[in-house]
């Protein structure tokens, strides 16, 4: 039986990903309550939010700006309250796609060729050939994502992407299989392959039920699987990650992985990708949520909230 804790789940918030965050947070809160904990749901739409007295830990189910860019982490650090996931600095780095790229390059982690533009009037980059992908530098969950398969599409795509941030990452489009790797307690979880039924993995396909198929563990040979997991773990370490994250990795036809980005607060509904991967190694959804709280509390010297459970296949 768990030692009951007073927990706060922060969900919603002011970002473009508010609706997804509300779903993540509601699922997390229900899971933690099922484990016997007292849970308060807190939507930080106002900067004047306060935590209930006696809060043991905060579970961050926020996505996008404010939640993933280090802002709320700095506020919680100032309150000296343990919270789930990466710290303020690694969150800031991971949320900025350019800083993540630079960290990966410095660490020798494979990533796609890129440049940065900061004006909607920027001409097509000299020496580049389509296809390319345009991403707002500081947004998440495919917000503002644009694909350019022909130079004629460049002006409209750039104008659309730059609405969401002052800088846009221009990246070579990697042709291959799309995967994601959950990291939990310093361990890479089984690889998940993501296959949209039509088109590409944009915001609509990501959040429309039935629009995308997921395969876990992904059907790669052992060596390729190890390469994908090593690249994901390398990116997580390069940005200074802690506790958990989800790393998106493209896999070229020759089996070589290419890291796209690190998601420090990945989706946490019961059907999200990190929970899918954890389930494969014997960690059910409610226990996964509780494990994330344990990792946060361990930094304060607090004991784990539960002991080993029958049926868990790995010690994560």
Q: Which of the residues are catalytic? A: 17, 141, 207, 246, 248, 261, 263, 267
Beta strands 38-42 and 6-10: pairing type? parallel
Report d(CA 278, CA 276) in Å as an integer.
6
Tokens of 249: 């990795």
* Strands (DSSP E) found in the chain: 6-10, 38-42, 57-60, 114-117, 132-136, 146-148, 168-172, 177-184, 187-196, 212-215, 244-251, 257-263
CA-CA distance, 293 to 13, in Å (whole number)?
20
Q: Enumerate the H helices of 119-210 as residue ranges.
A: 154-161, 203-207
> For residue 296, what is the enclosing H or E element?
helix 285-298
Q: How far apart are CA 104 and CA 7, in angstroms?
A: 34
d(CA 71, CA 250): 29
| Residue whose token pair is 């995308």 | 212
Q: Is the dihedral of CA 10, 13, 16, 20 positive or negative?
A: positive
13: left (phi over 0), alpha (psi -120 to 50) or beta: left
Q: Which two tokens stand for residue 232?
A: 């994901």
Q: What share of the chain is helix, strand, coil (3-state, %, to 5)?
A: 35, 20, 45
């Amino acid at each position: 039986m768990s030692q009951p804790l007073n927990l706060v789940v922060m969900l919603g918030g002011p970002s473009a990903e508010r609706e997804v965050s509300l779903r993540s947070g509601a699922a997390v809160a229900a899971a933690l309550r099922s484990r016997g904990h007292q849970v308060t749901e807190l939507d930080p739409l106002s900067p004047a939010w306060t935590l209930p007295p006696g809060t043991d830990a905060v579970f961050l189910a926020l996505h996008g700006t404010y939640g993933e860019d280090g802002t709320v982490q700095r506020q919680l650090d100032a309150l000296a309250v343990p919270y789930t996931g990466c710290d303020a600095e690694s969150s800031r780095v991971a949320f900025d796609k350019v800083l993540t790229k630079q960290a990966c390059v410095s660490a020798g982690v494979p990533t796609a060729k890129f440049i940065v533009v900061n004006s909607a009037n920027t001409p097509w980059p000299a020496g580049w050939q389509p296809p390319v992908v345009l991403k707002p530098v500081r947004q998440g969950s495919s917000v503002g994502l644009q694909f350019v398969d022909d130079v004629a599409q460049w002006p409209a795509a750039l104008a659309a992407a730059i609405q969401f941030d002052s800088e846009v990452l221009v990246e070579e489009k990697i042709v291959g299989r799309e995967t994601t790797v959950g990291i939990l307690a310093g361990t890479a979880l089984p690889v998940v392959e993501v296959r949209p039924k039509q088109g590409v993995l944009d915001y609509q396909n990501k959040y429309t039920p039935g629009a995308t198929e997921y395969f876990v563990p992904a059907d790669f040979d052992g060596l390729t699987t190890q390469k994908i997991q090593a690249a994901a773990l390398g990116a997580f370490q390069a940005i200074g990650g802690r506790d958990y994250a989800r790393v998106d990795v493209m896999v070229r036809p020759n089996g070589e992985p290419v890291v796209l980005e690190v998601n420090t607060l990945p989706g946490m509904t019961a059907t999200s990708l990190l929970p899918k991967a954890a389930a494969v190694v014997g960690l059910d959804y409610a226990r996964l949520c509780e494990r994330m709280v344990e990792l946060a509390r361990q930094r304060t010297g607090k004991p784990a909230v539960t002991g080993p459970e029958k049926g868990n296949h790995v010690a994560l």
